[in-house]
Structure formats: C-alpha cells, structure tokens
Structure 1
Amino acid sequence: MGTPFSWGGGRPSGPTTGIGRGANTVGFDCSGLTLYAWSKAGISLGHYTGTQFRQGRRVPLSDLRKGDLVFFGGGSGDPTHVGLYLGGGIMIHAPKTGDVVKKTQFLDSSYYRPIYRGAIRPA
C-alpha cells in the first residue's frame, strides 16, 4: 500500500524502476504488482496485463476469491488494467502514473464496474 505507480515497474522481488514514464520512479505498474503478489505463492506471471488474462482459469464474478486477478478495459482487445481481489468487491491495484498502490471498491464503482472484463485464478 502506498508504493508509487511506475510504468513498467515491478518484479517478483518487489518494486523496481520502470520504463518510459516510470523511468525515474521505483514502484509497480498494475501487472507488476500482481506478478509480485503471486510470486509469493510460487506462481510466475508475465509482466503484461494481456498475458496475465490468459494465465489461469476464468472465474465468474459470483465465484471470486481473495487473490483472483480482476481485469478492466480494453474493449474487445486485451484488458488494460488488472488488480488483486481482496473480497467484498474491493481490489488492491496500482492505478496510474501519479498515484499509488491502494484499495478500491470496484463492484460499485461508476468507473470500474462498466469496464470490468473478467477474472482469472492463476495456477
């Protein structure tokens, strides 16, 4: 919580300097945060939201469990954002440049709920 967003930042070992817009910031981007979290359970994820969207079993919204990856945006292409489900409609995520890792209620959010794309349980 509170770690800066850094475009391209994050490894299994923790926050890193990012690339491009994140080149001067040590932190996580959304997929860097999720790959870091799942690495603690011994699961390796790619550092790209679209790749992570294909790295596990699809989970219906009604069956979400803590730790599932929740995806947003991208229209019919790859999702553009990912977070970790915490329960109760809340995710932890690294939202955008200038922000920090934080919790967000997404199920009732007028921003996130309409762009919800689905969930994956990594394996």
Structure 2
Amino acid sequence: MLKRFAPLVPLALVTLLFGCAAHTPAPQQEQNQQVINSVTAQSSSVLLQEAIEQEAASDKELASFGNGKSYQLPVLADSILERGMSLIGTRYRFGGTSEAGFDCSGFIGYLFREEAGMNLPRSTREMINVDAPLVTRSDLKPGDLLFFATNGRRGRVSHAGIYLGDNQFIHSSSRRSGGVRIDSLGDSYWSKTFIEAKRALAMAPDSTPTIVTARK
C-alpha cells in the first residue's frame, strides 16, 4: 500500500509548500525548494530502482524458462521477421502453409519452422495454448506471438500475428486486405480485439527442430 502511494508524497508536499509561498519570506522559500528537490529526487530514485529490479526478475524468469535452453530470441527473431518481410504481398489462402498462400497460423508456423526449427500447433486455438511465457503488451519484443478475437466472440482467439517492434506486427490478414501485410497494434480495431501475447521463441531449441505442444 505504501509503495502504491509513494509517488504522491512529493506531490502532496509540493502542493502544501507552494500553497503557502505567497506568505513565506524569501530565505524560507529557498529552504522549502531544497526540501522539495530532495524529496522528489529520493522518490524518483526509489521508483527507478524498483523498475530495474522488476525488469531484472522478468528477464531472469524468461532466461530460465525451458529447462535452461539457450534463449536465442534476438537472432531467431531477426531471421523470422526478415523472412516474413520478404513475403509481404503473398496472398491469403485458407489452410495455406506455403509461399503459394498462407492463412494466419500457416504463415506463423511456416516462419517458425523454417527459421527457428520449431513446429508450432497448426491452428490459432492450439497455438495460443503453447507452453510459453505470457508477455504483457508493454513488454512486447520482436518475434512475440500476438493473438486476437476477430470473429465477434469476445475472448475467443481467431487470428494471430508476429510482433515486429514499434507497435507494428506482421500477419497474413485476409483475402480482401491483401494477404501478408504489416499493421499497427495501436489501430483501434487491433487494439480492441487483442487478447494476449506469448514469447514462443523462449522455447526454441539449440540446434534441432522441436514440436511445441499446447497445454491440455
């Protein structure tokens, strides 16, 4: 409870001191300002340290995920996304899993298989259940899988894409929208239908292909 309201302490102090400023002698005003600066600096330092510790804990958890397997996210993500970008404009094809045409999960499965040696579940309903770390929207990294509910059923996954960075993602959208393309997660439609994200690359093998199964 104290941590939650800690940022408000310097603000309350600032408000109190400035509320009396018009009736305070000049030397006292300078002393008050020094107190304000000191309290604000200390509060900012504590908040920064907490943020660093939380980020370190998150990174440690991800690094240890998968029984100590090498966490190759940056290199594999680059390979996957570079290959994906080269396929922009490839037509949408329901059930498609090759460069002749992809549906959304077929596109993801193709890239992860070809570039990371991972065989992901075929459908989005199975893919969303892979045993991989959940990632908050504020902590997305390139290569993370994004899941959406686009069929009007709230919370029921029906579409997926791969996060690029800078709030952008790549996916095989639909026949009408031109197949493989890039969209913004900040667009109202995608922001509203977004369900969750997973870091499937945390389960990437060191060198040999693996099958990533969904939880029962």
TM-score by length of 1: 0.82
Where does residue 161 of structure 2 map in the other structure?
Answer: 83
Identity fraction in percent: 33
Moved more, 68-77 or 41-50: 68-77
Superposed displacement of residue 43, structure 1:
1.4
RMSD of the alignment, in Å? 1.2
- Larger-Rg structure: 2
Q: Which residue of the other structure, out of 131, 137, 143, is the alignment partner of 1:61? A: 137
Counterpart of 2:106 in 1: which secondary structure?
helix
Where does residue 35 of structure 1 map in the other structure?
Answer: 109
How many residue pairs get matched? 108
Q: Which residue of the other structure, out of 176, 181, 197, is the alignment partner of 1:102? A: 181
Q: Which residue of the other structure, out of 82, 86, 90, is the alignment partner of 1:3? A: 90
TM-score by length of 2: 0.48
Is the helix fraction higher in 1 or 2?
A: 2
Where does residue 92 of structure 1 map in the other structure?
Answer: 170
Structure 1, residues 66-91: CA drift from partner, whole Å, max 9, x if none?
011001114233x1000000001100
Task: Tell me which stretches of 4 or more aligned residues in structure 1 moved more than 6 Å.
Answer: none
Where does residue 21 of structure 1 map in the other structure?
Answer: none
Matched, 1:52 2:127: yes
Superposed displacement of residue 105, structure 1:
0.8
Where does residue 22 of structure 1 map in the other structure?
Answer: none
Counterpart of 1:114 in 2: which secondary structure?
helix
Identify which of structures 1 and 2 has the higher relative contact order when contacts are C-alpha pairs closer than 8 Å and 6+ apart: 1
